[in-house]
Amino acid sequence: MNKHKILGSLILPFLGLLALFGGLTARSGSPSADPSLLPEGNCTVIIVGKDASTDGSIMTTHTCDCGLCDWTWRHVPAADHKPGSTRKIYHVHQYKTWPPSEGLKWDLYKKDFTGLEIPEVPRTYAYHHGMFGYMNEKQLAIGESSIGCQKKMVNSTPTPKLDITMLTLLAMERCATAREAIQVMGSLAETYGYGFNDDGEMLAVADAKEVWAFEIMPVGPLWTPQGGKPGAVWCAQRVPDDHVSVCPNESRIGEIDLANKDYFMASPNAISFAVENKFYDPASGKPFNWKRAYAPSEGSALSTNGWLSRLWRFYNLTAPSLGLKPETPNMDLPFSVKPDKKVSVQDVMAMTRDKCQGTVFDPVKGIGGGPFKNPNYFRSTRTICDNRAEYTTITQSRGSLPDPVGGLVWISFGPQDTSCYMPFYAGATDIPKSFSVGDHWVLSRDSARWAFEYVDFHVQPVYAAAVEDVKAAQAKWEGEAIAQIAEVDKQAAALMAKSPKKAAAHLTGFGLNNAQNVVGAWWKLGDDLLVKYNHFSSYDVQKRARERGKPEWPEWWRKAVKAFEILMAPDEKK
């Protein structure tokens, strides 16, 4: 066969692959959005109403996406405070960390005192927190997603004293219900100003009865508390009990009806601020639309080549019968939907691990995933699962049980697809010490997070094969925890009536023991993956014969490599 025919037989399949891959970046003539104008975050909040879940629990999630942030967790005990005492307010930067040699973030952040002290409440509730407050002893739960705002609204000056982290901690300390938390956070932000470290933010705020989407934004760099105007603009919309919703770093609240107090709350300037700043013209005849006024996010899953795919994908997973199209502008997608079937906590875990598999936005289509279909190689889309995640939370608030028993926060460290969810009750009085230490730049076997990083690192080279080992481990450990929850609930609820202290010890012991076992299992899993896939081989340690195999390298990959070599070779060698 002549040289040109040989070259053609190699290059044509390669060009076909490139064409297939190119389909991921120029579909159906859709315009490509400028990535610099699209949201940077990847923290996805999933919301499940009580009548939309299989067990009557209200659920929220948060993916703490960063890749360089603090991942540590703390338990803060309840406390009584003397009359006249005050609560210091600090600026807590979401992304700032310190080297371990200098100390831990949740000690050092107190160097950023704002100078503001507010009246303390007689008693503050116990709660668990990471970057934000997530669950308190009253089953108040929170999930967070940054949503941005109009540029002129940003206030990076130190005049506003409250940022989103501080607001969530105050809500955890002071509030027993979602409505109370929204009113407290909103009122404090109006009085003392919101911004500095943060701009537009969304919080899913839940209790055992209902869940709300709360969105808050600064009001510009010229605001001062002496001006007499609110130092923030905010709005909240309740998710219907039989619905699910999602926030993927985009404002979700649209038209609002402030007369319907059962479904809407807002600051007094919610509409007037938009009018004053020409974000909304009442003379237009159009109804006021919160997200279009304050945080418009133009584009669709299709027009942004998958960058804005998470909103569409969530509805595609939970309510496929609606037939929502990826070309539908995100601003036109509904605030919430009724799912085709009720959602379990296992379903939510699976959704947090979703990477648009089997869709036009699948990151392993074409050659993007390499020979072992690794969805992290070519990050052309933003999926619900995030390989930069510090941790992910799933909260459950369950009205059928006493508050310390009904509340659960599930924590997984690192990327969701290679991690494991571990449950902690609202009434637990401690979390593992290994959760409170660790840093991206210093490997530490005392830090729980590094066990999951260790596994994730050993999955990446032969992803398609190694992730199956992880899935088996997830099924075992998450399955066992879920299976035990009902019995732990029963025993703790019975103890609550006799001795709340013994109930707390029971709940705490369950969480600590399970986490210790899971973290140990993940260190061992990392060792096992290192051995099993060492040298791009496959060592089957279960077989008595000491033999090794090879992961299958697809034929298309071999041809593509050969074709690329010929294409890139100097002319005299072709």
Per residue in 32-89, pLDDT (tens digit) is 444 444 556 789 999 999 999 999 999 999 999 988 899 999 999 999 999 999 999 9
Two structure tokens written together for 277: 């700043």
Q: For residue 66, which of 389, 413, 481 has the smallest C-alpha distance?
A: 389
Q: What are phi and psi of 525, to 5 degrees?
A: -60, -40
Helix (H, G, I), strand (E, B) or coil at 117: strand
Please provide the average confidence, as pLDDT, over all residues in the chain: 91
Count of all residues that appear for the chain in the document? 574
pLDDT band, very low/low/confident/very high, at 544 (cuts 50, 70, 90): low
d(CA 222, CA 232): 12
Q: Is it the case that residue 7 has pLDDT exceeding 90?
A: no
Give the whole-number percent of the chain exceeding pLDDT 90.
Answer: 81
Please write the tens of the pLDDT for every residue from 102-136. Answer: 999 999 999 999 999 999 999 999 999 999 999 99
Q: Edge-to-edge strands of the sheet including 201-206? A: 74-76, 127-129, 133-136, 141-146, 201-206, 211-217, 233-238, 264-266
pTM attached to this predicted model = 0.92
Q: Is 145 in contact with 92 (CB distance < 8 Å)?
A: no
Q: What percentage of the chain reaches a pLDDT higher than 70?
A: 91
Which amino acid, one-letter code, is at 96?
A: K
Tell me how far CA of residue 513 lies from CA of 324, 373, 481, 519, in angstroms: 44, 35, 11, 10
* Residue-range domain boundaries for the chain: 3-27+537-573, 35-400
